[in-house]
Amino acid sequence: MKILDKEILTIGSKPQIIKMVLLAPDIAKKALPGQFIVIMTHEEGERVPLTVVNKDINAGTIQIIVQEAGFTTKLLSKLNIGDSLYAIVGPLGHATEIKKYGKVILIGGGVGIAEIYPVTKALKQANNEITTIIGARTKNALILEEELKSVTDNFFVATDDGSYGIKGFTTNILKDLLTKDKYDLAYAVGPIPMMRIACSVTKPFNVKTIVSLNSLMVDVTGMCGCCRVTVDGKSRFTCIDGPDFDGHLVDWDMLEKRNNVYTKQEKHLCNLHKL
Amino acid sequence: MKKDAIQAKELNSSIRRKYFDEVVLGYNEEEALIEASRCLQCKNPLCINGCPVGIDIKKFIYYISQKKYDEAYYTIREKNNFASICGRVCPAEYQCRKACILTKKGLPFASPQSINIHFLERFIGDHGIKENLEPPLKKDEFLSQFKVAIVGSGPAGLCCAGELARYGINVVIYEALHKLGGVLRYGIPPFRIPRNILDIEINYLKKLGVKFVPNFIIGRTKTIEELFNEGFSAIFLGLGAGVPSFLGIQGENLCNVYSANEFLTRVNLMSSYKFPEYHTPVNVGEHMIVIGGGNTAMDAARVALRLQEMNGIKPNTTIVYRRTEVEMPARRLEIEHAKEEGIKFKLLAQPNEFIGDEQGFVRKLFCYECELGEPDASGRRRPIPMKDKKIEFNCDVAIIAIGLGANQVLTSVTPDLKTDKWGDIVVSSDSMETSIKGVFAGGDIVGGEGTVIEAMGMAKKASKSIINFLKNSK
């Protein structure tokens, strides 16, 4: 549970995105693309799910990439090399189904870029033709560009402010590409509004679109139901049924609302700890 | 002359509902002696048959009456490892006390005149803890060479571990959560089992040499096969009843609609009643509604009421149940406690729809009034909703406590492990062995939701089979 390495990926841009390498040999052995872990920074802490971005079985390590979004991620980013987390458990959730689909288009927004990386790599190894679109607010907030490029056939970057790549949103590029060519699968991870728009873009083109959801969680073994989402009219648990779901069937409205249940408490904690 | 039953002292209801301190204070020595003296010491004691693990109740009560408390403790320990816990949470009025000769025949649960066996058990259990009493170990050189893995640190896992460790068997308990105790920790609130009692029982196992590995999910972090490959000779699965049932009605996924498991886990395991010192929040409303009639519903309601008090909100918590109080599966004592604390009961009401506001938070609950029809499969009279009689409740936090299904995290990745149509693990009833050789199971993952003592009963049985299995394995 020790932090072996830490690197700030977004110099000069807030909120910061941080990469950490954690010692977790049992999890490293098992983690597959699309799976996540739950961490607690302290005994008093929350249980927070984070995607396993990379792993090194020989070194017994896993890599996580975290954006300082809420209280716990801010707390986590304050920890340093040599510190230990109070708890790590995993790997959790179903792995993304990796096989040869044909032409796959992957869309990553913000810290979601980190989450599409392991899936992109695996899909590339499975001989798919890979198109990747990544986007961020501004150039300095962009992460993993080189890593993704190295496993991508066709690569696109968008920034909201036009400071790098194409000015605009990943979903604009997505629409252009779908208009010009046929794709067999789309995979989108990012802020809820991005995933939601990505799904509404792919739907008229009938491209199956997998999304990886970031519901709030507590126990992560299906025991509490905190992470439930409505998919195709049915209640599903993100922790044991997901995190990947068919984005065309997700009730985005509900997910967005449920993810904001504790904003007040979150603010209170941040103020209290001056974070 | 017939003496009246001695009631255990309790914290005053108007004070206790402001804290999570233990409500029932238990007997002092004098009270225990009087209660023990009421026992008729029947020639054919019926109470023992009422105990799921067959504690020699007659004998331990006799020892109390002779002030031989150590002997009383060892008598209980022959059958039950956790007297302090069971004395606090056993639904004795459905078990030993209902079987007691002093209970009038034909009642749905024990008469008030029956012996308060649970209070006596608790008195003795706490005596054992205070005096550091431990039954003699049965160290066995042959058995000491074996390693046994236990999955889950709830009542079943803890009990099985204790039984095996006494023989010198090397026991490792794997627990998915970061704290130990399973439902005793995340489910049952501190005002029913104080955390120090739980910690003492777990520490005792550590002293016996049991190793605990938290944050470890068998089925995810490691498989059963890998455990065998690592040199474990047998495995016991005490996975618990995992997945909360929901009502399947409109609006159930609105914000602030919790499963009782989530609500209680936030409060009991994550200590959200100590927010912001602890970081996990829980929402507290002005109109809190708990749906269900079991112990979990009572626990959730009493937690909700305490949170209202602690947050300066006028206590207003209602239990909504579709049958009547007689059919409620909860312990009678907890129903009484809930009432004393000011929890309202809306009986014969079946939830039909939650209504939310624009932000997606629950605001109202609509129910149908019910009448009772013929008994159903459970033997209880079936509620029949009357569609023309709608009831409306203000509701800004709802907690659904209508039961649990099987947790399939492990079974879904272990195809050789046979399960029934509910997803529960199938075992041979005399050995508790599963369809995989050397893998045993007990507790709620076998046969669905039960009590702490039933889980321990199964675990005890499994531990005997495991010992036999080990003896025949080399």
Q: Which tokens is B249 given?
A: 């009605």
Residue B450 has pLDDT above 90, yes or no: no
| Percent of chain B whose pLDDT exceeds 90 | 85
A141-159 exposure pattern, b = at least 16 Cβ within 10 A, e = fewer:
bbbbbebbeebbeebbbbb
Q: Are residues B369 and B416 in the same domain?
A: no
Enclosing domain of residue B216? 143-242+406-471
- Nearest Cα of chain A lies from the Cα of B268 at a distance, in angstroms, of 12
Q: Are residues B298 and B436 in the same domain?
A: no
- Give the tens place of pLDDT for each residue, A220-251: 999 999 999 999 999 999 999 999 999 999 99
Q: Report yes or no on B201 lying in a domain.
A: yes
Write out the H or E segment, with its range, that includes residue B467.
Answer: helix B452-471
Q: Give me the mean pLDDT over the A5-22 stretch.
A: 92
| More confidently predicted of B298 and B134 | B298
- Checking phi first, is residue B348 left (phi over 0); if not, alpha (psi -120 to 50) or beta? left
**Contact assessment for residue A50 and residue A93, using Cβ atoms and an 8 Å cutoff:** no
Rounded CA separation B472/B474 (Å): 6
Chain B hits for A225, Cβ within 8 Å: 243-244, 246, 258-259, 261-262
Q: Cβ contact (<8 Å) for A229 and B252?
A: no
Q: Cβ contact (<8 Å) for B220 and A40?
A: no
Q: Are residues B215 and B345 in the same domain?
A: no
Q: Give me the mean pLDDT over the A134-161 stretch.
A: 95
**Contact assessment for residue A36 and residue A213, using Cβ atoms and an 8 Å cutoff:** no
- How many residue contacts between A and B have a Cβ separation below 8 Å? 119
Task: List the one residue out of A186, A164, A160, A179 whose CA is nearest residue A244.
Answer: A186
**What fold does the segment set A103-212 form as a domain?**
Rossmann fold (3.40.50)
Rounded CA separation A101/B12 (Å): 67
Cβ neighbours, 10 Å, residue B252 = 20
Q: Are residues B281 and B322 in the same domain?
A: yes
Q: Report yes or no on B55 lying in a domain.
A: yes
Q: Quick check: B344 contacting A, CB < 8 Å?
A: no
Taking the CA atoms of A181, A184, A190 and A191 in sequence, report the sign of the dihedral they define.
positive
Q: Are residues B362 and B222 in the same domain?
A: no
Bond before B385 cis per omega within 30 degrees = no
Domain boundaries, chain A: 3-92, 103-212
- Nearest Cα of chain B lies from the Cα of A257 at a distance, in angstroms, of 6
Q: Return the pLDDT at A38.
A: 97
3-state secondary structure of B6: coil
Q: Which tokens is B430 given?
A: 């005399």
**Domain boundary, last residue among B378, B403, B428:** B403
Q: Are residues B390 and B337 in the same domain?
A: yes
Q: Cβ contact (<8 Å) for B216 and A46?
A: no
Q: Are residues B57 and B200 in the same domain?
A: no
- Give the tens place of pLDDT for each residue, B31-85: 999 999 999 999 999 999 999 889 999 999 999 999 999 999 999 998 888 999 9
Q: Quick check: B373 contacting A, CB < 8 Å?
A: no
Q: In this structure, what CATH number is given to the domain that contains residue B53? A: 1.10.1060.10
Q: Return the pLDDT at B407.
A: 86
Tell me which residue in A30, A225, A269 faces B244 most closely, judged by beta carbons. Answer: A225
- Structural domain count of chain B: 3
> Which 179-198 residues of chain B touch chain A by CB within 8 A?
186
Q: Quick check: B262 contacting A, CB < 8 Å?
A: yes
Rounded CA separation A222/A241 (Å): 9
Rounded CA separation B352/B366 (Å): 6
Tell me which residue in B177, B255, B259 faces A261 most closely, judged by beta carbons. Answer: B255
pLDDT confidence tier of residue A33, bands split at 50, 70 and 90: very high
Q: Give me the mean pLDDT over the B195-213 stretch.
A: 94
| More confidently predicted of B256 and B81 | B256
Residue B447 has pLDDT above 90, yes or no: no
- Give the tens place of pLDDT for each residue, B336-349: 999 999 999 999 99
Rounded CA separation A44/B277 (Å): 7
Q: Cβ contact (<8 Å) for B265 and A26?
A: no
- Give the tens place of pLDDT for each residue, A154-173: 999 999 999 999 999 999 99
- Nearest Cα of chain B lies from the Cα of A14 at a distance, in angstroms, of 23
Q: Give me the mean pLDDT over the A171-195 stretch.
A: 96
Least confident of A79-88, B99-108, B190-199, B245-254: B99-108
Q: Kindly state the DSSP code that residue B189 receives in the 8-state scheme.
A: -
Q: Report yes or no on B138 lying in a domain.
A: no
Q: Cβ contact (<8 Å) for A229 and B253?
A: yes
Task: Read off the amino acid at residue B434.
Answer: T
Chain A hits for B151, Cβ within 8 Å: none
By CA distance, what is A219's nearest residue in B? B177
Q: Cβ contact (<8 Å) for A257 and B359?
A: yes
Residue A103 has pLDDT above 70, yes or no: yes
- Give the tens place of pLDDT for each residue, B107-136: 888 999 999 999 999 999 999 999 999 888
Question: Can you state the angle between helices B29-37 and B57-65, rounded to 10 degrees?
Answer: 120
| Number of residues that make up chain A | 275
Mean pLDDT, chain B, whole residue set? 94
Q: Return the pLDDT at A13.
A: 82
**Domain boundary, last residue among B74, B107, B130:** B130
| Percent of chain A whose pLDDT exceeds 70 | 100
Residue B2 has pLDDT above 70, yes or no: no
Q: Report yes or no on B4 lying in a domain.
A: no
Query: Where does A3-92 sit in CATH, by number?
Result: 2.40.30.10
**What's the CA angle centered on A230, arms A225 and A233, to 5 degrees?**
130
- Nearest Cα of chain A lies from the Cα of B410 at a distance, in angstroms, of 10
Q: How many helices (H) and strands (E) does chain A have?
A: 9, 16
Q: Give me the mean pLDDT over the B250-262 stretch.
A: 96
Q: Return the pLDDT at B474.
A: 67
pLDDT confidence tier of residue B4, bands split at 50, 70 and 90: confident
Q: Return the pLDDT at B294.
A: 94
Q: Are residues B396 and B467 in the same domain?
A: no
Q: Quick check: B358 contacting A, CB < 8 Å?
A: no
**Domain boundary, last residue among B373, B403, B433:** B403
- Give the tens place of pLDDT for each residue, B417-430: 999 999 999 999 89
Tell me which residue in A45, A219, A224 faces B279 most closely, judged by beta carbons. Answer: A45
Q: Give me the mean pLDDT over the A104-132 stretch.
A: 97
Bond before A15 cis per omega within 30 degrees = yes
Residue B1 has pLDDT above 60, yes or no: no
CA distances from B24 to B83, B123, B315, B433 (A): 15, 12, 21, 38
Q: Which tokens is A15 given?
A: 């909120």
Task: List the one residue out of A68, A31, A69 whose CA is nearest residue A51.
Answer: A31
Q: In this structure, what CATH number is given to the domain that contains residue B355? A: 3.50.50.60
Q: Report yes or no on B1 lying in a domain.
A: no
pLDDT confidence tier of residue A134, bands split at 50, 70 and 90: very high
Q: Return the pLDDT at B282.
A: 97
Q: Give me the mean pLDDT over the B367-379 stretch.
A: 89
Q: 């693309």: which residue's tokens?
A: A33
The interface predicted TM-score (ipTM) is: 0.95
Mutate to test the interface with A, among B265, B279, B358 (most CBs of A within 10 A): B279
Q: Report yes or no on B2 lying in a domain.
A: no
Q: Give me the mean pLDDT over the B254-274 stretch.
A: 96
Q: Give me the mean pLDDT over the B203-208 stretch.
A: 92
**Contact assessment for residue B370 and residue B348, using Cβ atoms and an 8 Å cutoff:** yes
Q: Are residues B125 and B148 in the same domain?
A: no
Q: Quick check: B422 contacting A, CB < 8 Å?
A: no
- Nearest Cα of chain B lies from the Cα of A269 at a distance, in angstroms, of 7
Q: Give me the mean pLDDT over the A109-124 stretch.
A: 96
Torsion of CA B195, B201, B207, B208, to 10 degrees: -150
Q: Are residues B100 and B163 in the same domain?
A: no
Q: Give me the mean pLDDT over the A28-40 stretch.
A: 97
Q: What are phi and psi of A95, to 5 degrees?
A: -70, 155
Rounded CA separation B174/B237 (Å): 10
Q: Report yes or no on B459 lying in a domain.
A: yes
Q: Are residues B32 and B155 in the same domain?
A: no
Q: Report yes or no on B137 lying in a domain.
A: no
**Contact assessment for residue B48 and residue B24, using Cβ atoms and an 8 Å cutoff:** no
Chain A hits for B271, Cβ within 8 Å: 44
Q: Give me the mean pLDDT over the A10-20 stretch.
A: 90
Q: Are residues B202 and B277 in the same domain?
A: no
